[in-house]
Amino acid sequence: MAPDSSSNPKRAVISAKNVELDSKMGGGIPVGSLVLIEGTSGAGKSVLSQQIIWGALNDGFRVALFTSENTVKSLVTQMASIDLDVLDFLLLGKLRVFPMELSRRGAKAPFTLVKVLKSIQNRDILVIDSFTSAIAHTANDTQVLRFFEECKRLCAGGMSIFVTLHAQAVSSDLIGTLRSMCDAHLVLRSEQDGQRIVKTLEVAKVRGAASVTGAVVGFEVEPGWGMRVIPISKARA
């Protein structure tokens, strides 16, 4: 279902409200995009999606988050700890949070999630963190593909959808297809470099971006600060 135009801010892009991060994403994610945020466990997928949610809320967008990673209380606490306070948005109804336990649905999980997404009203942005939980017991690649196709249809109606996913949860052939289907593709990695964990963000593509994308940058997540982009050389120092 398309978002309610009466509440939809007339903005062309979704900003994370982080100057460095936005610049690496080509100036922001164009409204109406299907975005794949891909990464291994602990790479920062949830933090990046939370940063984008916070930025979108501050720009007047209405957001619905479907999360297998947090309860409502733990989400608010976690985001506040990195200076992304969303409590007021939650109380005002600008942010809705739906904890999900889709693994219990087994092979029907992707279909169930699509049905719920279609029923959501008065939202501009939908965030699924993480879709991995929905496909943990889904052996059929066709079901996963159909989920993304339905998301594309929602985006064609003006919705913006962000999906976080552990790439190893699906076959190598399927992940390639999903990457090509999505309008934006962000890849997060966490690597051991000596005694230090190095986190990186690759902006693989952002269709319709205002400026050039494709950069690979390092980043840190600091209490009271949030997500801070740093040069790769500094990340590895």
Q: pTM of the prediction?
A: 0.90
Decide the pairing of beta strands 184-193 and 34-39: parallel
Residue 114 sits in a domain whose CATH number is 3.40.50.300
Q: Say if 223 falls within a structural domain.
A: yes
Per-residue model confidence (pLDDT) at position 185: 96
Q: Say if 106 falls within a structural domain.
A: yes
Q: Say if 154 falls within a structural domain.
A: yes
Q: Say if 201 falls within a structural domain.
A: yes
Q: Say if 186 falls within a structural domain.
A: yes
Q: Say if 5 falls within a structural domain.
A: no
Which residue range is the domain that position 179 belongs to? 13-235
Decide the pairing of beta strands 160-165 and 13-14: unpaired
* Cβ-based neighbour number of residue 205 at 10 Å: 17
Whether the bond between 130 and the residue before it is cis, its omega within 30 degrees of 0, is yes
Q: Say if 20 falls within a structural domain.
A: yes
Per-position pLDDT tens, the chain of length 237: 444 444 556 789 999 999 889 988 889 999 999 999 999 888 999 999 999 999 999 999 999 999 988 999 999 999 999 999 999 999 999 999 999 887 777 778 888 899 999 999 999 999 999 998 888 776 688 889 999 999 999 999 999 999 999 988 888 889 999 999 999 999 999 877 666 778 899 999 999 877 666 678 888 887 777 788 877 655 555
Q: Say if 115 falls within a structural domain.
A: yes
Query: What's the domain count of the chain?
Result: 1
